Amino acid sequence: DSGVTQTPKHLITATGQRVTLRCSPRSGDLSVYWYQQSLDQGLQFLIQYYNGEERAKGNILERFSAQQFPDLHSELNLSSLELGDSALYFCASSAGTSIEQYFGPGTRLTVT
Amino acid sequence: GESVGLHLPTLSVQEGDNSIINCAYSNSASDYFIWYKQESGKGPQFIIDIRSNMDKRQGQRVTVLLNKTVKHLSLQIAATQPGDSAVYFCAGCSRYSSASKIIFGSGTRLSIRP
């Protein structure tokens, strides 16, 4: 158990809809990262937050947004969903800017 | 931009033998290179990292080698055990201020023969 929790575990929704994925980092970790894992694209970095502020951006679509709250939990919002957004979404956390990131169990999103 | 990739999508090793998983990267922007292990149904798990100015780093039963000349790194697992069955990812990490960006390779699935 990494100490990172993600909810929900599974999510099935229709095209055009909007969903919110939630992540609670390990106790004390200030950095939260979001990743998308799909069969054709592999594991892709989306975005990083550090102590409530956006710090780094990867291949995150404009339809996706994230935020980190004062209690350090984070949410990833996915809107106008398309079939191609079906994937595993992982959250990870690290202590400050440590290289070692701890990954949560993931949320499996299926868009039908 | 930076990219990392693994040489083989699958690797089968006899239990007890050493495993070597290879990875190549395209440019030298990464400050660190990292190996992750992902077991079925779980999130990736950090194994070991190596700073870009180092050649070798050892952990518990694992060794990472970095060859900057040919832009190649490898993960060696000694005395491979059934619990080592997983997909292994190499990744390059660029850090600046409090930001950290990781580029993952495509992964090698390691299976262990009894």
Tens of pLDDT, residue by residue over A1-58, are 899 999 999 999 999 999 999 999 999 999 999 999 998 778 899 999 999 999 999 9
- Give Cα B29 to chain centroid, integer Å: 17
| Identity of the highest mean pLDDT range in A84-93, B4-13, B20-29 | A84-93
Mutation for testing the A interface, residue in B2, B35, B95, B100 having most A CBs under 10 Å: B100
Coil/strand/helix, residue A91 = strand
Rounded to the nearest angstrom, the minimum Cα separation between B10 and chain A is: 15
Q: Choosing among A101, A107, A108, which should be mutated to test the B contact, i.e. which has the most B CBs within 10 A? A: A101
Q: Is B71 helix (H, G, I), strand (E, B) or coil?
A: coil
Return the amino acid letter for B100.
S
CB atoms within 10 A of CB B59: 12
Q: Which alpha helices (DSSP H) does chain B contain, by range? A: none
pLDDT at B1 over 60: no
Helix (H, G, I), strand (E, B) or coil at A83: helix
∠A50-B50-A34 over CA atoms, to 5°?
A: 30
| Residue B80 distance to chain A (closest CA, Å) | 23
How close, in Å, is residue B102 to chain A by CA atoms?
6
CA distance A95 to A67: 18
Structure confidence at residue A19 (pLDDT): 98
Mean pLDDT computed over B61-69: 96
User: For chain B, which residues lie within 8 Å of any Cβ of chain A, measuring from their own Cβ?
Assistant: 32, 34, 42-46, 49, 89, 93, 95, 97-107
| Average pLDDT value for chain B | 91
Tokens, residue B77: 């697992």
pLDDT above 80 (res B28):
no
CA A68 to CA A56: how far, in whole Å?
13
Structure tokens at B58: 């050892």
Give the pLDDT confidence score for residue B7 in this predicted structure: 65
Tokens of A91: 């959250």
**A59-94: pLDDT as tens digits:** 899 999 999 999 999 999 999 999 999 999 999 999
C-beta atoms of B103 and A45 within 8 A? yes
Interchain CB contacts (distance < 8 Å): A and B: 64
